[in-house]
Structure 1
Amino acid sequence: MTVESAREPVPACTAFEGARRIASGPLAEVALAAKRAVERGAGVLVFDDATSLPIELDLRGSEAEVLARLSPPAEPEAPRGPGRPKLGVVAREVTLLPRHWDWLAGQPGGASVTLRRLVEEVRRAGEGRDRLRQAQEAAYRFMAAMAGDRPGFEEAARALFAPDRDRFAALTEAWPADIRDHARRLAAAAFDAPHSA
């Protein structure tokens, strides 16, 4: 038994009623399914599929009211004063040693251009590692929430971080089908990511 390597498009979120997956897809659809389950007296957990962080939903009121709360009101654009046009640049404080400032001052384009270039180079160099770490964290977060007390959880977590696809599949086989399948789908992203040291 192996974990699927082909990845399907990841829905926005997934809701579970106990060990049963009740909805997966756009937040609005999942929120309505969660509301119906809660109205039946069920406990529901909703997870963001990219991070596996829980999504807190205010399910009070009518379905229309629930949906209205999902969309935050648009903030009016603040009037701009004189100066540079808005380029999406965010000013923040950076603390460096004097020798770093001296080096940056001597670079073509100045400190800001050089720092942006350096950040982009490091970001590109670490993309594979970052994707692997984020996928492992998302899978682990879901597993801890939904299968933390299941047999084989600790060993499955070790297999996830190893990464050992076949061992992970074997250790999760006895879990409830919906939890197992969702954990495997999340873990597939970790197993498929480049495994650089």
Structure 2
Amino acid sequence: MHSPYPNQVIAFAGAHRIASGQLALVALKAKELLDRNDAATVLIFDDITSAQVEVDFRGSAEQVLQRLSSNEIHAAQTAKTVNSEELPRGPGRPKLGVIGREVTLLPRHWDWLNQQPGGASVALRKLVEDAKRQGEERDQIRRAQEYAYRFMSAMAGDLINFEEATRAFFAGDQERFAELSEPWQIDIRDHARRLAARAFAVEA
């Protein structure tokens, strides 16, 4: 079965995980539960970013899947429209992927850049690449922390030790985080730990 959503997802009904995998399959599982119990509260999360994924469960299972497919078509059309819009041509070498943009610097900065091998453009590109490499690990930690906290605040915000656990998490104390999250409902706890482990792994 084709899923319109690019990432895997995970669904919870209250504190219990009910399904994970492709969105279409998870939506069907959630639909079955809601048909049995329309008072149930189902939340679906992107398995990587923890962003909540909205699904319209009205009507039959077939209608739910049709709407998912329609959303995919709309997203693809939107992406095609955006990608087809060309930027105004300016200085640079577009065939090589080089785009000319204005950069405002102080005279002493331009003097230093112009003295570098290859000139200002080459020096600027090297500086950007070096900064990207140096900041990559920091950015990976930040993103992993953001994704884990997004889920924890949505599902564990009212649970015991939440504030202390999140402080331990952001401090990089994996052992303390595991200890403080131990009383949480098992499905919430296990998924929160799995997400948190990504941040701890980058820091190690």
Aligned to 1:69: 71
Correspondence for 2:3: none
Q: CA deviation at 1:49?
A: 2.4
SS in 2 for 1:73: helix
Match of 2:46 among 27, 45, 48: 48
User: Which of 99, 103, 110 does residue 101 from structure 1 map onto?
Assistant: 110
Pick the structure with more helix per residue. 2
CA deviations on 1:141-183 (whole Å, 9 max, x unpaired) are 2111110110010111011112111211111111111100000
Asked if residue 20 in structure 1 is aligned to residue 16 in structure 2, the reply is yes
CA contact (8 A) 1:172 1:180 kept: yes
Match of 1:113 among 122, 126, 136: 122
Amino acid at match of 1:28: A
Q: Identify the residue that residue 156 of structure 1 maps to in structure 2.
A: 165
Which residues in structure 2 correspond to 1:73-152 (within 5 Å)? 73-74=76-77, 75=80, 78=84, 84-85=93-94, 87-89=96-98, 93-152=102-161
Q: Which deviates more from structure 2 when the two are superposed, residues 180-189 or residues 132-141?
A: 132-141
Query: In the alignment, residue 52 of structure 1 is paired with which amino acid?
Result: S
* Alignment: residue pair count: 185
**Distance in 2 separating the partners of 1:110 and 1:30:** 55
1:37/1:43 contact within 8 Å kept: no
Flag the 1:151–1:67 CA change in 2: closer, same or farther, 3 A.
same
Q: Which residue of 2 aligns with 1:181?
A: 190
Q: Are 2:10 and 2:19, in contact at CA under 8 Å, matched by a contact in 1?
A: yes
> Comparing both chains, which one has the higher relative contact order based on Cα–Cα distances under 8 Å and sequence gaps of 6 or more?
1
- Alignment TM-score, normalising by the size of structure 2: 0.74
Equivalent AA in structure 1 for residue 181 of structure 2: T
Name the TM-score, length of structure 1 as normaliser.
0.76
Q: Looking at CA atoms only, which structure, 1 or 2, has the larger radius of gyration?
A: 2
Secondary structure of 2:163's aligned partner: helix
Q: Which amino acid aligns with 1:126?
A: G
Distance 1:92 1:27 in 2: 40
Uncovered stretches (5+) of structure 2, i.e. residues with no partner: 1-6
